[in-house]
Every structure is written in structure tokens, then in C-alpha cells.
Amino acid sequence: IETAKKITQNMFLHQAHVGNATGENEWYTPESYIQAATELMGTIDVDPASSEIANQIVKATTYFTIETNGLTQKWLGNIWMNPPYAQPLITNFCNLLVDKYVTGEVKQACVLVNNATETIFYQNMLTHCQAVCFIQGRVKFLDKSGKALGTPLQGQTILYFGTNFHEFGLIFSKFGVIFYGK
């Protein structure tokens, strides 16, 4: 019995890092990333997965909340997206962004997501984006009160969709290494 208890404790202590996730979806992007996206794109026309609190920093012309459901709306112009990280929402938002970019509804986009390179939705984004910033360290997301407490369990990336990929590299390289798409 004692051996089984030790094995169970050891398994808990050494479980996959992402197995410790809180399940909380209300984490907001620090202003430095929003400033860089605005510098790059000129404006943020739409934030499709947002809230009133988040838009105080993002300052998107149009933003959609849980109630207004960005998955059912038009996303015209320049997009900033920090989607909810829970499934199936992250897959739905990321795949829809790619669809809207391919059809021309989205002119440019910056997407902040976990570096989940093994997932189908991330591979779909990589296939269509022009550049990726692999952020050094972990993003300190803001909680509902604006405090930088939300350090995620895996690293993050910002994927860029659009023609200004060289400028993306210049602006976002302060956050991490840049890789360019095909």
C-alpha cells in the first residue's frame, strides 16, 4: 500500500505541465502586445473573442463577447485575437480566422495562442500565416482586476496573417524569435 501511495504521489508531481491548467478563460493580453499589433496593422478593427474589460486595452473598433458570439459575426479588416484556450472554442476561433483570411474578409491578423504545434488547428494556422513570433518566456496575462498573475502552463506564439510580414518581424522580434512562412 505504501509503495502504491508513493507511486501515485510521484505521478501527480510529474504529470504533464499542461495537466495543471486552471480552466479559466478570462485572461487578458498585456498592453505591450496590443501596442505592437497596432503599430504593425495601424488599427485593430475587430477583436472577435473579447469582453468589455479586454477591449479597454485592445481598443478594437468592434469587439464580440460571449453574448454577441464572434463565431457568428463578420470580421472585416485588421484582427487581433486572443481566443479562449478551452476546447472546442480555440479550434473554432482559429479555424474560422483562417477561413476568413483565405476568403479576404480578414485583411491582416495577429493571433496570440499557445505554441500547440502538434494540434490540427495550429497546423492549419501555420499553413496560412506569413510569420510567427515564438515568445521568449511566458506571457503574464492579466486577470479580471488587471493584475499580471496569469502565467500559462506552456509557451505562446503570435501568428501573423498579412503582407507586412517583414515589418511584423521588426516589431515583434523584441518578444522572441521570428519564423517566416512560405
Tell me which residue of 135, 114, 137 sits closest to 125, measured CA to CA. Answer: 114
Mean pLDDT over each residue of the chain, to the nearest integer: 87
Question: Judging by DSSP bridges, how do beta strands 148-150 and 131-135 pair with one another?
Answer: unpaired
H-only helix segments in the chain? 2-13, 31-41, 52-58, 89-102, 120-128, 165-172
CB 86 within 8 A of CB 60: no
Determine the length of the chain: 182
Peptide bond into 88 cis (omega under 30): yes
pLDDT in tens, 127-176: 999 999 999 999 988 877 777 876 677 899 999 999 999 999 999 999 99
Residue 37's pLDDT is 98
pTM for the whole structure: 0.85
β-strand partners of 111: 81, 159
Residue 12's pLDDT is 34
β-strand partners of 179: 132
Q: Which residues of 31-50 are buried (b: 16+ CB within 10 A; e: fewer)?
A: eebbebbbebbeebbbbbbb
Residue 144's pLDDT is 79
pLDDT higher than threshold 70 for residue 120: yes
Residue 19's pLDDT is 34
Which stretch of DSSP H or E encloses residue 112? strand 106-114
pLDDT higher than threshold 70 for residue 10: no
pLDDT in tens, 13-67: 333 333 334 455 567 899 999 999 999 999 999 999 999 999 999 999 999 999 9
pLDDT higher than threshold 60 for residue 11: no
> Per the structure block, which three cell numbers stand in for 90?
480555440
